[in-house]
């Protein structure tokens, strides 16, 4: 039984990797002929797939909380950690299907109309030609950095070697933002198309690797809960 539980996270990861590669191959084969397969467009097969994957992994995080609560071993730090992780992953899934980051500029302008003038004076007038959402997301990451540092500190302290499966996805997600900046600046079309594939695959790979981190804990708690119920 222990071996089976140890293998389950790798079954999940392997399934995601196979599907990730399949989606990329579909784009390479017909993405420029069929919008339904294009990685660079929204509300199509790649988008729906990514959304389902995000939400699935996010709810596995919530499942960890539920299983720990049923075992009466849930403390407030664990609850915050898994709630934040699950909520963040689900939010990314909703962002994927709802294009929230693409409309972030419009939302911020409704809340703070002068933001456009500030960003124009500081960035756009000085040569910034990439997607505006990159600036807003970067600012949000800076503001949230103290909490993110606590989050990483708790993860490193609690999960030790397993942190590779959360730190490497973070590196990949940051790389996605960098690649988005490069791709949406002044580059040759074929370079843009190449960067789109790399960027989208990095995003898919990041959440697939993160699934290992989440599913190890999910299946561990599932095993512990099952053992307690059968005592």
Q: Determine the structural domain holding residue 116 and report its residue range.
A: 2-229
* pLDDT reported for residue 121: 60
Taking 70 as the pLDDT cut, the residues of the chain under it are 1-5, 101-131, 186, 231
* pLDDT reported for residue 190: 84
* pLDDT reported for residue 1: 45
State how far the Cα of 96 lies from the Cα of 50, in Å rounded to an integer: 7
Label residue 111 exposed, middle or buried (CB < 10 Å: 0-12, 13-18, 19+): exposed
**Helix, strand or coil for residue 74?**
coil
Question: Cα 149 to chain center, whole Å?
Answer: 17
* pLDDT reported for residue 12: 95
Q: Where in the chain does DSSP place strands (E)?
A: none
Give the contacts of 57 (CB within 8 A, at least 6 positions apart).
Answer: 89, 207, 210, 211, 214, 215
Q: Is the pTM of this model over 0.85?
A: yes
Number of domains forming the structure of the chain? 1
* pLDDT reported for residue 215: 96
Q: Residue 16's closest CA among 208, 213, 209? A: 208
DSSP 66-87: HHHHHTT---HHHHHHHHHHHH
User: Tokens in use for 46?
Assistant: 């790649």
State how far the Cα of 45 lies from the Cα of 163, in Å rounded to an integer: 31
């Amino acid at each position: 039984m222990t071996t089976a539980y140890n293998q389950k996270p790798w079954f999940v990861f392997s399934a995601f990797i196979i599907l990730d590669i399949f989606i990329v191959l579909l784009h390479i084969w017909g993405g420029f002929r069929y919008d339904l397969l294009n990685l660079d467009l929204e509300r199509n097969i790649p988008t729906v797939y990514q959304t389902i994957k995000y939400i699935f992994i996010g709810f596995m995080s919530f499942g960890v909380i539920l299983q720990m609560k049923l075992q009466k071993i849930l403390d407030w730090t664990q609850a915050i950690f898994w709630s934040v992780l699950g909520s963040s992953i689900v939010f990314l899934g909703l962002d994927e299907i709802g294009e929230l980051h693409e409309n972030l500029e419009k939302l911020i302008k409704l809340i703070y109309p002068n933001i456009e003038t500030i960003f124009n004076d500081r960035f756009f007038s000085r040569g910034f030609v990439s997607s505006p959402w990159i600036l807003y997301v970067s600012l949000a990451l800076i503001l949230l950095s103290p909490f993110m540092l606590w989050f990483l500190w708790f993860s490193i302290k609690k999960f030790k070697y397993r942190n590779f499966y959360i730190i490497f996805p973070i590196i990949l997600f940051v790389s996605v933002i960098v690649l988005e900046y490069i791709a949406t600046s002044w580059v040759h079309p074929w370079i843009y198309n190449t960067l789109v594939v790399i960027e989208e695959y990095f995003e898919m790979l990041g959440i697939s690797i993160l699934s290992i981190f989440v599913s190890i804990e999910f299946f561990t708690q599932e095993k512990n809960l099952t053992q307690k119920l059968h005592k």
